[in-house]
């Protein structure tokens, strides 16, 4: 049983690494994505807090959004299942702390406070099956005093039913038009 689990996790980690064969597969340096990062910071500052001791960023990728989250925290901790992404994130944001893993396999020994002030999962949840999505949200609630997630509008049918079950949820939409119109859903809550 355990060897099947290890094989399953290895295949997910390898798949994530293949996506990062070339840098920036999601075009996160474009004005569209930089807009999303800046607007997400604005929502955090307006609704959750202007500055934190610690933020945990689940699915941090190569650290593009970490650069923005660093403006809001003494320390950002990033976790991603791609080793390649983690190595680039470490170069991009040397003052943050990155680890290869996912929210379940990674063993959090920091921060020393019992919870992170904020746990984020931006553009990650839609990768997860219904079961994993539900348990990821539960784990985020355990780890964070507050949480924020975002996802592109087309993923609403998959992600919304899970998000709407969370007590005290608040939401906003962000939209941007360049060569195409993109709309993101953002949701946050305090635990």
77 bridge partner residues: 56, 97
Cα–Cα dist 82/63, whole Å: 12
Q: Specify whether the CB–CB gap between 26 and 89 falls below 8 A.
A: no
Cα–Cα dist 60/73, whole Å: 15
Among 39, 80, 100, 185, binds ligand SAM (CB under 6 A): 80
Q: Is position 122 an interface residue for ligand SAM (rule: CB under 6 A)? A: yes
Among 44, 48, 55, 58, binds ligand SAM (CB under 6 A): 58
Stretch of 76-84, 110-118, 157-165, 176-184 contacting ligand SAM, by CB under 6 A: 76-84
Task: Find tokens 């190569």 and name the residue.
Answer: 62
Q: Is position 186 an interface residue for ligand SAM (rule: CB under 6 A)? A: no
Q: Is position 123 an interface residue for ligand SAM (rule: CB under 6 A)? A: yes
Spatial neighbors of 75 by CB under 8 A, at least 6 apart, are 53, 54, 55, 95, 96, 97, 111
Q: Is position 59 an interface residue for ligand SAM (rule: CB under 6 A)? A: yes
To ligand SAM, the closest distance from the beta carbon of 167 in angstroms equals 24
Stretch of 55-63, 91-99, 141-149, 159-167 contacting ligand SAM, by CB under 6 A: 55-63
Stretch of 2-10, 58-66, 158-166, 178-186 contacting ligand SAM, by CB under 6 A: 58-66
- 3-state secondary structure at position 24: coil
Q: Is position 77 an interface residue for ligand SAM (rule: CB under 6 A)? A: no
Closest CA to 13 of 84, 107, 91: 84
Q: Is position 85 an interface residue for ligand SAM (rule: CB under 6 A)? A: yes
CB count in 10 Å sphere of residue 185: 18
Among 65, 93, 174, 189, binds ligand SAM (CB under 6 A): 65
Stretch of 67-75, 79-87, 140-148, 180-188 contacting ligand SAM, by CB under 6 A: 79-87
* Strand spans (E) along the chain: 52-58, 73-80, 97-100, 118-122, 146-152, 170-177, 181-190
- Where do contacts with ligand SAM occur on this chain (CB under 6 A)? 16, 26, 28, 58-61, 64-65, 79-82, 85, 102-103, 122-124, 127
């Amino acid at each position: 049983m355990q060897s099947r689990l290890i094989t399953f996790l290895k295949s997910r980690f390898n798949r994530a690494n293949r996506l990062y064969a070339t840098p920036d597969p999601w075009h996160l340096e474009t004005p569209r994505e930089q807009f999303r990062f800046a607007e997400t910071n604005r929502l955090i500052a307006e609704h959750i807090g202007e500055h934190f001791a610690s933020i945990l960023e689940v699915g941090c990728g190569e650290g593009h959004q970490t650069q923005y989250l660093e403006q809001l925290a003494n320390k950002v901790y990033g976790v991603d299942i791609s080793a390649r992404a983690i190595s680039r994130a470490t170069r991009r944001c040397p003052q943050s702390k990155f680890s290869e893993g996912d929210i379940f396999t990674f063993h959090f020994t920091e921060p020393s406070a019992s919870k992170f002030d904020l746990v984020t999962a931006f553009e990650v949840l839609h990768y997860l099956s219904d079961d994993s999505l539900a348990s990821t949200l539960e784990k985020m609630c355990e780890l964070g005093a507050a949480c924020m997630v975002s996802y592109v509008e087309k993923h609403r049918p998959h992600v919304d039913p899970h998000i709407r079950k969370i007590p005290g949820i608040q939401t906003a939409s962000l939209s941007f038009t360049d060569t195409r119109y993109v709309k993101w859903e953002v949701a946050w809550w305090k635990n």
